[in-house]
Amino acid sequence: MVAPSTNNTTERSHRAAHDHVRVLQVGAGHIQALADMMFTESSLDLDMKNDLRPNVWNAQVFENLHRFSNYMLYPERGGDSPIINPVAAAVSLSVPIELFDKHAPASEPPIRRVSTTVLLVPSALTLKQLTELTGVLKSDGSFVLTNAADVRKALKAQCEDGRSSWVQDMKALLSDPARFISAKQKAAAQESPKERYTFGCFIQQCCAFAVLVPVTDKSEIERLVRRWERGIPTHAHGVLSNGAQMNREHIGALGFIYRCLCQGFLHRGSCVHVLQWMVSAGVMTPPACFSAARLGHARIGRPSGYGMCMACTVLCVYEYI
């Protein structure tokens, strides 16, 4: 077996993890050791610099972005399958979101739930489940889902048996999580005494969409935009070589950009979901070294992620769904 490459950011971090974790363990033990290592690493990770972190700004992230922007709805149909950009199938929705108001008067709590219009971008798993449920072909031989508008409509459509749609479920979950879980548990029990709404079902529901929340504060937008423009300077000379080109005029006209509620953005101030929205909306042009054309050529050769253990693969999948 070939050791993880040190030239690939994901594989390098995986290799570093295994320097701390004994790998000759059964699965559950390995997961526990890995979780302990990640907790320690997270506790020690206190610096907030102007630079982006390598784990949210690398070839792997942009490769995921380019690949997901050309999502094949029916991969088993190969070249005949319609291809969509999931951002174009995203759904706008008004839900109560916890916001931190640094200008709140002392008499009011700084964290409040405010009704906010968010953008729900379906995950790859949600799209896969959607196509499995709706089927592939209509009676006339055409595809059931042919474009992003069809997908958006299907995500909002209630099931024929009366069960709520993906979007209705997500709205209920974000509005009142405790009530949502108890309603799901009741519905599962009514369906069959053996049926249970498990923790796994709940986690899957939480990851069904990337939830993008608008940022309208001008100083916050400027801080984020500068980080993306700056990229990550090379260590040796501090040279800026992988910054993105940001369309400031377009951002000014929109009056907002998005942040994301995924763990990547919460910890690192950037994530593949926000980058994908910005590239799709014409707000960002990726740096030349991470362009679709460049990474298309880079993909010839050994598949990335090679040599990764199952436990770490699962964690990486959760990072990018």
**Residues of this chain that bind Zn ion (CB under 5 A):** 210, 260, 262, 265, 271, 273
Q: Kindly tell me which of 244 and 271 has the beta carbon lying closer to Zn ion.
A: 271
As measured in angstroms, the least distance from the Cβ of 160 to Zn ion is 32
Rounded distance between C-alpha atoms, residue 272 and residue 72, angstroms: 18
Q: Kindly tell me which of 197 and 209 has the beta carbon lying closer to Zn ion.
A: 209
As measured in angstroms, the least distance from the Cβ of 140 to Zn ion is 38
| Alpha helix (H) residue ranges in the chain | 9-20, 27-44, 59-69, 124-134, 148-156, 166-175, 177-191, 199-206, 218-230, 248-254, 263-268, 272-280, 292-298, 310-320
| Alpha helix (H) residue ranges in 157-262 | 166-175, 177-191, 199-206, 218-230, 248-254
Q: Kindly tell me which of 208 and 271 has the beta carbon lying closer to Zn ion.
A: 271
Q: Are strands 111-122 and 209-215 parallel, antiparallel or unpaired?
A: antiparallel
Is-contact 84 71, C-beta < 8 A? yes
As measured in angstroms, the least distance from the Cβ of 158 to Zn ion is 27
Q: Kindly tell me which of 119 and 308 has the beta carbon lying closer to Zn ion.
A: 119
Q: Kindly tell me which of 272 and 308 has the beta carbon lying closer to Zn ion.
A: 272
Cα R_g (the chain), whole angstroms: 21
As measured in angstroms, the least distance from the Cβ of 182 to Zn ion is 28
As measured in angstroms, the least distance from the Cβ of 78 to Zn ion is 30
